[in-house]
Amino acid sequence: MTGIERIGVVGCGLMGAGIAEVCARAGLPVTVVERDAQAARAGRLRITRSLDRATARGRLTAERREATAARITVVDQIEALQDRDLVIEAVAEDERLKADVFARLDDAVTSAHTVLATNTSAIPVIRLAAATGRPEHVVGVHFFNPVPVLRLVELVPSLLTSADTVARAETFVTRRLGKEVVRTSDRAGFVVNALLVPYLLAAIRMAESGTASVEDIDRGMVLGCAHPLGPLALTDLIGLDTTRAIAESLYAEFREPQYAPPPLLSRMVEAGLLGRKSGRGFHRYDEQPQRETAPPG
């Protein structure tokens, strides 16, 4: 079983930047690919700001912050990933975009032992693996936002993923990154989102029907159930566009009403009210909007 030492990440939005950061914190060299030079600069800035916040809060020393930043290279050419041991796709939650990335990785990555991983929240892994000529090397490695803080990773092999690929991915996540792994079969939503998203959609329907205000729905679950965030604040953190995409993937696979996106969710996404990353969702936010980026072109 070949070890994983050189990491590639495709996409430097909220998730891609977080994945690159935790890999670099673990002492690994990371190459991140964005669609163009402007997006690469924005991605680098996103990583820098995250490292600065961690340093200001005492989670990183100044020395370790500099060493971590030095391990990360952000470029706009997918060919830069040709010699990576592991490449993690972290573009927007859109099946066509992700499949296109995997098709391009199949051409760009020349190492025969490279693990190709997807950070998809809900899309069945086999659909993305089918875009490559090496489905045995493709596996789901689903991190949670914010990646530097949350310890869980869902490990999702498809029907064609080899045992060696699964073992290498799990060893990397647990031993190198210090994360906890849950294994799940290759079904839409996996474990966490299959349980979480119906709850979030129920809260949106409650707000939509006027049963209770957004503030009272969130306060009810924080104070009544000891949740750290209410469901609508959590939807803002995840991103309303991402929540809708996960719901659509779940509904397409299972056709159960609880998975169908409520009209209010769709209207808000169409209006650009995406949550924290756009500065406004169910709540308003003062921080600088951080939009997800499209895959590298």
Place of tokens 């490695």: 141
Q: For 64-90, b where at least 16 C-beta lie within 10 A, e where not — what string?
A: ebeebeebbbbbbebebbbebbbbbbb
Crossing angle of helices 231-238 and 214-225, in 10° steps, is 110
Which is catalytic among the residues 21, 34, 89, 154?
154
142 labelled catalytic: yes
Annotated catalytic, 193? yes
Contacts of 158 by beta carbon, 8 Å cutoff, 6+ apart: 124, 125, 126, 129, 135, 138, 139, 140, 186
Q: Which of 34, 50, 89, 121 is catalytic?
A: 121
Cis geometry, peptide bond prior to residue 296 (ω within 30 degrees of 0) = no
Query: Any catalytic annotation for residue 154?
Result: yes
Q: Please confirm, yes or no, whether 209 is among the known catalytic residues.
A: no
Check 21, 93, 142, 158 and give the catalytic one: 142
Place of tokens 């991983």: 117
Provide the 8-state DSSP code for 262: P
Whose CA is closest to 184, among 157, 220, 223? Answer: 157
Give the residue numbers marked as catalytic. Answer: 121, 142, 154, 193
